[in-house]
Amino acid sequence: MNEQGVERDETKMRRSSLGKMLLLAVPFLLTGCRDRFLVLDPAGPVAETEYNMIVLSAVLISIVVIPVIGLLIYIVRKYRDRPGNDAPYQPEWADSKRLEIVWWGIPIVIIAVLSVFTVRDTFALTQPPSDQEPVTIQVTSLDWKWMFQYPESGVATVNYAKIPAGVPVQFVLTSDAPMNSFWVPQLGGQTYTMPGMAMRMWLQADQPGTYYGHGANFTGKEFAKMEFDVIAEKPSEFKEWTKQVKESKPKMTKEDYKQLKEPGVVEEKTFSSYPSDLFKEIVMKNGGIYRKEEHQHILND
């Protein structure tokens, strides 16, 4: 067998091996897509808006990426060097104004379209997602746990939060530890929790259910265990839950919070009350006092 034939056989073997590897990878890539890729399974209006932006972006980007990849494969295959090719390399340079307009014009149009929708949705997501009376929850990220305070009812929880389904929830976020990122993928995008800051975000669950949440910013040794559940219940069940908590759970004292703030992992906890202005004190002591006017309207809502 000549050298050219051997090279063809080796090329076929490489292609066959690559094809087999891709086929073997498909089941692993597809397994559990619905459970693992929660960001693609929106369960509320905020997440739905963000999901639509992801789809729109993917479609518009594909308009450029797919033809470019196709042309790359075609050109490399058609004009590749072949064994025994002794032709001299004498390129002829030329340009085309029409092609220049096309391959610059299409990306400009795509960016313009993406910009319009991104600006529209970004500003829309700063407002309540529906006209229902909202609920406010104050969230504090700690090492390595999450504390949720309910200023309307005065109760508090650790490592889980309950919300009424179909009702907009205003999460006001801060940190009493290294900055983190609060993320409930099925309900919306992530927002940073930062010491001395009171960040605001709106989420809403359309249906009752349990939604996975996690800290999305590395914060040290037990970062991976900073998980929490957001449990959406019918509004009547949510009110009954707050009533039961007020009647049956212990109060959180300043000593309790001091212990809670210590680095470590804890189980879920529930408190019937917490020290007055605790959230405000956390924000102010970590530098919020220097941005008092900026945060005042959020802390007083």
pLDDT at 189: 93
User: Are residues 258 and 119 part of one domain?
Assistant: no
Q: Which two tokens stand for residue 214?
A: 């996690």
Q: 54 with 26, same domain?
A: yes
Segment 6-32, tens digit of pLDDT: 444 554 555 555 455 555 555 544 444
Tell me the residue range of the domain where 41 lies: 3-79+96-124
Same domain, 144 and 293: yes
User: For 222-255, how does the pLDDT look when each residue is reduced to its tens digit (9 = 90+)?
Assistant: 889 999 999 999 999 999 999 999 999 999 999 9
Question: What is the band of 273 on the pLDDT scale with cuts at 50, 70, 90?
Answer: very high
Residue 129, in any domain of the structure: no
51-107 pLDDT, tens digit per residue, is 999 999 999 999 989 999 999 999 999 888 888 878 777 778 888 889 899 889 988
Residue 262, domain member (yes or no): yes
Q: What is the CATH number of the domain that holds 180?
A: 2.60.40.420
Both 147 and 115 in one domain: the answer is no
Q: Tell me: pLDDT of 282 over 50.
A: yes
Q: Which residues of 47-78 are buried (b: 16+ CB within 10 A; e: fewer)?
A: bbbbbebeeeeeebeeeeeeeeeeeeeeeeee
Cα 109 to Cα 115: distance, rounded to the nearest angstrom = 10
Query: 293 and 155 in one domain?
Result: yes
User: Of the candidates 211, 177, 281, 257, which has an alpha carbon nearest to the alpha carbon of residue 46?
Assistant: 211
Q: Average pLDDT of the chain? A: 87
pLDDT above 90: percentage of residues in the chain? 67
Are 170 and 273 found together in one domain? yes
* CA proximity to 246, closest of 154, 123, 138: 154
Q: How confident is the model at residue 300 (pLDDT cuts 50, 70, 90)?
A: low
By the 8 A CB rule, do 173 and 137 touch? Answer: no
On whether both 141 and 274 belong to a single domain, the answer is yes
Q: Is residue 217 part of a domain?
A: yes
- Number of domains composing the chain: 2
85 within domain boundaries: no
